[in-house]
Amino acid sequence: MKRKITAFVDSDVVISSLISKLGAAYFLINETSLKFFISNISLKELKVVVKKLGLKNEALERLVKKQFYITSLKTDLKKIEEKYKDYVMDINDSHIIAGVVKSKVKFLITYNLRHFNVDKIKRDFDILIMTPARFLQYLRSL
Amino acid sequence: MFAIDNFCYVWYKIVMFNQKIYTPEQVAEILQLSKNTVYQLINRGEIVAKKIGKVYRIPAVSLFFTLTGLDYDLYQAEQKDLKEIPRIQREISKVRLSL
């Protein structure tokens, strides 16, 4: 059986998919032929962001339950930051790279490309970083 | 769902919204390419064109892929998201700082 393409999804893409049903993030997240991951730390931050932006927590819970696998990371953020600090411009984004590596995916989907050291991530982990639309375009080319 | 056949989509937009159509020569001028390169791009499917008799006609929307690397529908969908992204990323940054 053909294996599903796997991708770790950054929180900005998850939130985008909740805000607009006409955006690329929504189209991507609702693509059932793919296998998506977030981490337990991402989920924690997503719950807070959803509340701050006035979105419905039930919608997030429904989406996560339906479309995502949760990768469990140890919650010692200091260790995560120390290990992955060279892969990010903002050290607070380190847990995303930790999630990507632990999930053993091939893609990171984010709108925050500038905050990741794309070349080093590709070189060290063989992971490609793309925006949702760029990833959908890639899928069309397969 | 979103994967409407690109060719049909482009021509649907032309018919429904009366969008501008170019000749290969005009496209070569717009993109600063030679006429031969434009015909090569058409043959490779990188520019969506319709052959009418012996000539090609190219809708403006099909130039999007050549210019942006995205099909027109995906380009539009990305633009939709990008309107909200600064606000979303600001909140995420604040939350990550407090984790």
Mean pLDDT over the full length of chain A: 94
- Within 75-104 of A, beta carbons closer than 8 Å to B belong to 77, 90, 92-93, 95
Return the CATH number at B53. Answer: 1.10.10
Rounded Cα distance between A70 and A97, Å, is: 14
Interface test with B, best of A76, A84, A92 (most B CBs within 10 A): A92
pLDDT surpasses 80 at B79: yes
Q: What is the pLDDT of residues A88-98, one digit of tens each?
A: 999 999 999 99
Place of tokens 């490309």: A113
Sheet of strand B50-52, all strands in order from the earlier edge strand to the far edge = B21-22, B55-59, B50-52
Q: Does B92 touch chain A (CB under 8 A)?
A: yes
Asked if B2 and B13 touch (Cβ cutoff 8 Å), the reply is no
Architecture of domain A4-139: 3-Layer(aba) Sandwich (3.40)
Domain membership flag for residue B26 = yes
Any residues with CB less than 8 A from the CB of A119 and at least 6 apart, and which?
none
Q: Which of B1, B88, B94 sits opposite A15 (nearest CB)?
A: B88
Residues of A in contact with B85 (CB under 8 A): 12, 16, 111
Rounded Cα distance between B47 and B24, Å, is: 10
Domain count for chain B, please give it.
1
- B75 is written with which tokens? 């380009």
Q: What is the pLDDT of residues A44-79, one digit of tens each?
A: 999 999 999 999 999 999 999 999 999 999 878 899
- What percent of chain A is modeled with pLDDT above 90? 89
Long-range pairs for A74-83 at CB < 8 Å and ≥24 separation? A75/A40, A75/A41, A77/A41, A77/B99
In terms of residue numbers, what domain contains B6? Answer: 2-71
Asked if A39 and A71 touch (Cβ cutoff 8 Å), the reply is yes
Domain membership flag for residue B93 = no
Domain membership flag for residue B43 = yes
- Provide the ipTM: 0.92
